[in-house]
Chain A
Amino acid sequence: MSEAKMKKVFGRPASLKPAETHYCPGCGHSIAHRLLAECLDELKLREKTVGVLPVGCAVIAHKYFNFDMAEAPHGRAPAAATGIKRVHPDKLVLTYQGDGDLAAIGTAETIHMANRGEKITTIFINNAIYGMTGGQMAPTSIIGLKTTTTPEGRASSRDGWPIDISRMLAVTDGAVYIERCVLTTVKGIRRAKKAILKAFQVQLDGLGFSLVELLSPCPTNWKLSPRAAVEWVNTEMIKSYSPGVIKDTTGYEDK
């Protein structure tokens, strides 16, 4: 059992800074950050990447991501990313956005980024709630979810239904690859990594817009322990947001 014989098979990716994050215990952002970084490392893209931040818990993710990052107003990351990609078409341009950023205030920018077929990749963190501002309803909050602005649970008559923005984007001709994954099982995380790699490949090949939606636990605002939050995604949230490929016109063979 000598350590000298053992080889390290898992450690921090280079595209992630060693800084300790401010994210809560069990937060999906942390897992998503690591996956994104692993993918950039594998494709050797760190030095050719420019990312755009959301407004949300990940607003200060430039402290964690080890590549060039731009801030944008809430919801506007797709527009900022469009500007960046037009100036640097040879760079990998990505947006990293939460549900409020992407599917509430930024809905128009999101749809039109996809509709223009921008060669941009969006990592969409769906935790069905507004985290940074303290747990209000998100457009993705499922029916019955108690939040600070739906204290008796989301009701469709008052608050509408959880929005499936990924399926809406699939209708656009410019969106080429959209997949939804979970960050709450090992199998799901490994599938998510493959999805992100594929999404980046779509951009590298110039095929069009790609998006990976990641169902993500928010223990603090769901008022669950991290382990219970993981359980809730795996049993409840997937009833409203079923994981799988939503659109794939890449023509790639799945490995």
Chain B
Amino acid sequence: MPSERMLMRGSHAVGEAAVRAGCRYYFGYPITPQNELPEYLAARMLEVGGTFVQAESEVAAINMVLGAAAAGGRAMTSSSSPGIALKQEGISYLCGQELPAVIINMMRGGPGLGNIAPSTADYFQVTRGGGNGDYHTPVLAPAGSQELAELTFAAFDLADKYRTPVMIAGDGLLGQVMEPVVFPDPIDLKILPRKDYILDGCAGREPRAIYSLFLGDQGELYNHNLKLQEKYGRIIAAEVRFEDYLTDDAEVIVVAYGTASRIARAAVDEVRKAGLKIGLFRPITLWPFPIKHLRGLADKGSKIAVFELSLGQMVEDVILSVLDRAGIFFYGIPGGLIPTPEELEDFMRSALAGDGKVGRRIEL
């Protein structure tokens, strides 16, 4: 049965949700600001008879996930931006081999070592895929502890359904805040459907091989990629998630995800008190990006005001969605600094006026 309401740190909520979703294999490496997650699972996995391995690197950890997934286990790893960069090779292989996995990214400042503050300048890294090849991974962006729990929990089913790695894009702030969480029912591992592709010894069947190398000269890799693309098409058609907040009558719609959306929501509430018709559109899947819905909002005549904790990455997907249907404005803060709702209100008013004085107007 669902749990009672618990006050939980975001990182811990991720760990608990994973365990309840049937994850019994966690491989990780310490990196701030997500260390609370491996620490939580080091103890929790002991309680449920799962496996916890502190790997020698983020590279090793993602490859342990690769092996565990090939063997049929629900496996997870976590890291933060520079460590996620190390995992790109493994993610590409997971996609090429069509294996399920869950990867938690608690983003921090970059590029390079950056800092440990909640910048979210990994949008390109997580949605465009820093690894090689034509692939995508579903990316879910929670905005609080409850959502961290729900989306982590859902990620395992999503991963199995499509045989794909799934990324949860949080950040250092979300990992640290403590909020009430109600967890879903734990999944009974025994009722999970059998996987017919896994490696568990070939007794009673032909041997299987799991690989992403297709060297043949009859178009084997071409066909494999078309198969992957067809799968991505199905994910795009069925798995988009977003939230509309006060967008129906909005003259300006702020587009923000994660921590940025929390600040935006507070700012929207304030300016509404002053009578300004401003709303919030919150993508929850960064990939697949909610293109159609955002386009529909732009068609209604609202200006679009993008706010990111970066110098502008999601804004490119907004531009692709909106094109010249509406004025697009952008306000971004790099380096992990977090603006106050008041600073954001200035941006919203500037977008409403269309003057580009706070942030900038996007010229197509």
> B247 an interface residue at 8 Å Cβ cutoff?
no
B90 and A76: CB pair below 8 A? yes
> B215 an interface residue at 8 Å Cβ cutoff?
yes
A88 and B213: CB pair below 8 A? no
A109 and B60: CB pair below 8 A? yes
Residues 55-98 (chain A) with a chain B CB within 8 angstroms: 59-60, 62, 65-73, 76, 79-88, 91
Stretch at the interface among B171-179, B204-212, B249-257: B204-212
Q: In the docked arrangement, what's the CA distance between A108 and B63, Å?
A: 13
> A47 an interface residue at 8 Å Cβ cutoff?
yes
> A112 an interface residue at 8 Å Cβ cutoff?
yes
Residue of B nearest to A112 (CB): B56
Using a CB–CB distance below 8 Å, which chain A residues touch chain B?
Answer: 46-50, 52-53, 59-60, 62, 65-73, 76, 79-88, 91, 108-109, 111-112, 116
Residue of A nearest to B97 (CB): A71
Taken residue by residue from 67 to 82, chain B's Cβ proximity to chain A (1 for < 8 Å, 0 otherwise) reads as 1111111010000000
- Give the residue among A59, A70, A83 with the most B Cβ atoms within 10 A: A83
Q: In the docked arrangement, what's the CA distance between A67 and B66, Å?
A: 19
Residue of B nearest to A116 (CB): B53
- Give the residue among A48, A62, A73, A91 with the most B Cβ atoms within 10 A: A73
Residues of B within 8 A of A79 (CB): 55, 59-61, 63-64, 66-67
Q: Known contacts being A83-B69, A87-B73, A109-B56, is A69 close to B25, with CB within 8 Å?
A: no
Q: Known contacts being A50-B71, A87-B71, is A72 close to B66, with CB within 8 Å?
A: yes
> B113 an interface residue at 8 Å Cβ cutoff?
no
> B4 an interface residue at 8 Å Cβ cutoff?
no
> B238 an interface residue at 8 Å Cβ cutoff?
no
B70 and A80: CB pair below 8 A? yes
Q: In the docked arrangement, what's the CA distance between A144 and B329, Å?
A: 64
> B57 an interface residue at 8 Å Cβ cutoff?
yes
Residues of A within 8 A of B97 (CB): 71
> B307 an interface residue at 8 Å Cβ cutoff?
no
Q: Known contacts being A68-B208, A83-B25, is A76 close to B63, with CB within 8 Å?
A: yes
A and B contact pairs by CB, cutoff 8 A, 28 listed: A46-B202, A48-B201, A50-B201, A67-B202, A68-B208, A69-B199, A70-B199, A71-B93, A71-B212, A73-B89, A76-B60, A79-B55, A79-B61, A79-B64, A80-B64, A80-B66, A82-B53, A83-B27, A83-B73, A84-B67, A84-B199, A85-B67, A86-B68, A86-B73, A87-B73, A108-B57, A112-B55, A112-B60
